[in-house]
Amino acid sequence: MSDATTDGPTSPGTSPGTPPGVIPAPRSVRESDRPGVPLDADTTLWAGPGTGTTERWLRLTLGAALGLSLPPAPGNTAVAENAGGAAENAPGTESAAGAENAPNTVRLRIDETLRPEAYVLDADAERGIEIRGGSGAGVFWGAQTLRQLIGPEAFRRAPVRPGVTYAVPNRTIEDAPRFGWRGLMLDVSRHFMPKDGVLRQLDLMAAHKLNVFHFHLTDDQGWRIEIKRYPKLTETGSWRARTKFGHRASPHWEEKPHGGFYTQDDIREIVAYAAERHIAVVPEIDIPGHSQAAIAAYPELGNTDVIDTHSLSVWDTWGVSKNVLAPTDNALRFYEGVFEELLDLFPSEFIHVGGDECAKDQWKASPAAQARITELGLVDEDGLQSWFIRHFDTWLSARGRRLIGWDEILEGGLAPGAAVSSWRGYQGGITAARAGHDVVMCPEQQVYLDHRQAEGPDEPVPIGFVRTLEDVYRFEPVPPELTPAQARHVLGTQANLWTEVMEDRARVDYQAFPRLVAFAEVAWSALPPPAERDFADFEERMTAHYARLDALGVAYRPPAGPLPWQRRPGVLGRPIEGPPPNV
């Protein structure tokens, strides 16, 4: 590819070097043999209206890494807060004209002729560096590309080579994403990730141009968000007495309490931090299944006529709990209260309600649930689950939000207006798209990153199918069965990190990287069909990208296999042999 090299650090006055290519792969790169653009103590920053988030990011992140202050260019105004709270530049009479030909200025501009997330990065020794974006997001993604062009030192938090001048190669890069939804789901219910780890995940997402953070906040094993009107959700529901270590068939236990939760101010901070990086945070509150932690906190939410719900505790093992919400008006009102507080915290268009793996055993045995089925004129328990989901679809729609759920919400009839996260394979997404519903493709057989990365015996707690770096790179989010009109309902794609066997941040890093890098390219870049993709080129670019991950402190899986401390000898997993089915 034409962007296979970039410049690296040089001593003042020396020629540019030959650093690595960009990931995700841009749509167009025009190269020049002319000298690179220096970044040094004299480099200034010009930020036009609407580019305030990138201006701050460049100073706080890139400036800190390289030891540069990046002062405002002459005539540039200060950043002001707009009425909605998003930081933008105050309009003024100034223009880029004064800095147009400054050779040592980085210029940020909105260009409304571009698509919203598209950008053009132009680096020229005589004109400096200009990033134009169709929106603030486009400018920000262009800044991520600039960071890669500088070299791995740009990914550190403080200078490692003071006094060195960094040169950006002469390039014109034109780029735009394939999908508007480029997501990562993080499960913090099975194993809690403290706030600083979540903020770090957002930084890693931004570095790879991922823009939707699906925040899985509740499950049988823990409730992770403060709800002020229901304090027991965190007092009781946020911790468990012990934890299964490995697959649920493993004999090992970690015999100590595990837990944690995010206060509402923590959530506000996370959402604001994400917004500064043009990442939408989509919260998930699971209903009506995966609710044992909530029932342990408020026993009246469960099916009290078939089980002593007061005896339940937060679940300490893995799998699908049979303890689900009772189909009562009380449960509806309770969760309406939860969602009311949630909507105040999360401005996202979509709210995820789970809807997956709802065991129907208790409803089948419950006289109250059966009476509700009759009262509502439903056919069976699948209809009861659909009734649950439809209620909140209507409730959220009335408040200007959209419901999204796992593809089980198709059972018993798809809720009008709902979108689907297609996880059990492609089929749920195909069915939903054909019915005119929006879809996020995240089939477990392809992009569940908790699945193992190799067949070797050293792979820690091996779960599921083998999904190599190349397998993820050849993943195609849009099924060929869809017509072009139906395919337009595919909002994008998402990789999922379920943390049953990821007990800490290092294990999350290991399972996510480097495969999340390949996924990011699939989600962003206009790649050819899977069989025609140039994986050798991607591997070559990855050799340089590993140095960036090293600088970021990512505990990724090395290409040669796990390091000794990344292994979990003797801890039982659940490997599935053979290739995954294409379902």
DSSP 535: H
3-state secondary structure labels for all residues of 375-409: HHCCCCHHHHHHHHHHHHHHHHHCCCCEEEEEHHH
Burial of 173 (0-12, 13-18, 19+ CB in 10 A): buried
Q: Active-site residues: which are they?
A: 219, 290, 357
Q: How far apart are the first and last CA of the chain?
A: 34
Q: Indicate the SS3 state at residue 516.
A: helix
Q: Indicate the SS3 state at residue 5.
A: strand
Q: Measured between alpha carbons, how far is 511 from 371 in angstroms, rounded to an integer?
A: 46
> Which one-letter amino acid corresponds to residue 104?
N
> Tokens 């979990």 belong to which residue?
568
Q: Measured between alpha carbons, how far is 562 from 344 in angstroms, rounded to an integer?
A: 43
What does each C-alpha distance from 190 to 215, 321, 503, 556 come to in angstroms?
A: 12, 13, 9, 21
Burial of 52 (0-12, 13-18, 19+ CB in 10 A): buried
The alpha carbon of residue 171 and the mean position of all alpha carbons in its chain are separated, in whole angstroms, by 29
Q: Indicate the SS3 state at residue 509.
A: helix
Cis peptide before 581 (omega within 30 of 0): no
